[in-house]
A = this chain, B = another copy of it.
Amino acid sequence: MDIQQYMATVGEQARGASRAMARATAGDKNAALSAIAGALRAHRSAILDANQRDLARGRDSGLDAALLDRLELTPERFDGMVEGLEQVIALADPVGGITDLNYRPSGIQVGKMRVPLGVIGIIYESRPNVTIDAAALCLKSGNAAILRGGSEAIDSNQAIAECLRIGLREAGLPETAVQVIETTDRAAVGELITHPEWVDVIVPRGGKGLIERISNDARVPVIKHLDGNCHVYIDAQADAGKAIKVAYNAKTQRYGTCNTMETLLVHAGIAERVLPELAAQYQAAGVELRGCERSRALLDGIGEATETDWAEEYLAPVLAIKLVDGLDEALEHIHRYSSGHTESIITENYTLARRFLAEVDSSSVMVNASTRFADGFEYGLGAEIGISTDKLHARGPVGLEGLTGQKWVVLGDGHVRT
């Protein structure tokens, strides 16, 4: 296969399809999503069989257990995937919404209209359900999509792609509105991320290595998700009960997620009231604690936190703990070590809460709430294509709106500029 030629065809088809998608009504797009759901149900056994082939090949080639787990489409996951489609159908269509349409002194009316970005390229790793999630969000937001899944999931993804084409065709939308790349050749990714004439934005979903590689090589904008080194700061004026509840949840509700707390900052004035109880709870849950000198004086037998710990996203049952003497020191630590994902303050003090909200430069800033809430579903986006750690365009959880932009509309009556 000539990869350059193949990708040029895919890219030009996507660009062409994006015009039809931009014109499609909410009704058209929902009909396509509904038809795709129908096709998935009708092809359920073929898709699960294809997934079994991927799994067998994965086992033969020695994929580790975690990867195999992510690759597997169990019947429950399959049903969840189809259900996800129904949820996207229920979301409001953001396209075409006009805001701030006002008369200007010249007599023209000026406003902003929400419009699709055009063509979204999505590069992801083994989970085949991402193929449907990503396709659904791109279609609903009026975009065309080019999807590049992991090579280990190629049979599953191609079986799902067939259902996408069936659904799009049934709804009278171009089959090329979502294309799943058919080759596992890595050169296809190189082509995908370097042609602004085909692709308007790339969303990589996967490990930090993948995302850094793509960001470095891309010639089109990338919506990035790098580390989640998240902090909770328990202020001296925190309610101890809330503090313990939130700090426990932020670490232990799930270990491998980007919005999990990795360092706990505790005001020295409240440490004795909250840390021993929290440490007992963490240890009962199997969380390894690593503390600064002052917290180790309070908590017997915990490990020592070094410079590396403050900077690390553990994604594991490990927690770094540091005592501080006030909000300024907490802010300084966050400023230095945070990855700008999510931070939360626990306090009853109005003024400190207000300062924390204003001064912490992270995609989500919270008061008296667990960092685990930083999520598209919890925020009411309905679904998310990812969580952005960028500051431009989309920051934090990215839903349908993050896959759109705004153009200016001007209404006149023969108005000219003087």
Contact = CB atoms under 8 A, between A and B. Distances in A.
Interface of A: 19, 22-23, 96, 102, 104, 106, 108, 110, 113, 115, 117-118, 200-201, 221, 239, 241-242, 245-246, 248-250, 253, 335, 344, 346, 357-359, 361-370, 372-374, 378-380, 390-393, 395-397, 405-418
Given A414-B368, A415-B246, A408 B374 contact: yes
A245 B373 contact: no
A253 B416 contact: yes
Contacts of A373: 106, 108, 110, 410, 412, 415, 417
A249 B417 contact: yes
Nearest to A118: B391
Nearest to A369: B412
A224 to B, nearest CB: 10
Nearest to A340: B407
A362 B118 CA distance: 12
A366 B410 contact: yes
Stoichiometry, copies per complex: 2
Contacts of A335: 19
B368 A411 contact: yes
B245 A416 contact: yes
Contacts of A392: 117, 200-201, 221, 392-393, 405
Given A110-B380, A344-B410, A395-B406, 5 more contacts: A19-B335, A368-B412, A370-B416, A373-B417, A374-B408
A393 B393 contact: yes
**Top 3 A-B pairs ranked by shortest CB distance?**
A369-B412, A242-B414, A249-B416
B246 A407 contact: no
A110 B368 CA distance: 13
Contacts of A110: 373, 378-380
Contacts of A253: 416-418
Contact of A361 (B22, B344, B372, B416): B22
A228 to B, nearest CB: 14
Contacts of A361: 19, 22, 115, 118, 407
A405 B245 CA distance: 32
A352 B96 CA distance: 16
B369 A108 contact: yes
A258 B365 CA distance: 40
Contacts of A407: 361-365, 395-396
Contact of A378 (B23, B108, B380, B411): B108
Contacts of A102: 380
Nearest to A117: B391
Contacts of A106: 373, 378
Nearest to A413: B368
Contacts of A414: 239, 241-242, 245-246, 346, 368-369
Contacts of A359: 19, 22-23
Nearest to A392: B393
Nearest to A108: B369
A380 B393 CA distance: 21
A242 to B, nearest CB: 3
Contacts of A22: 358-359, 361
A409 B242 contact: no
A407 to B, nearest CB: 6
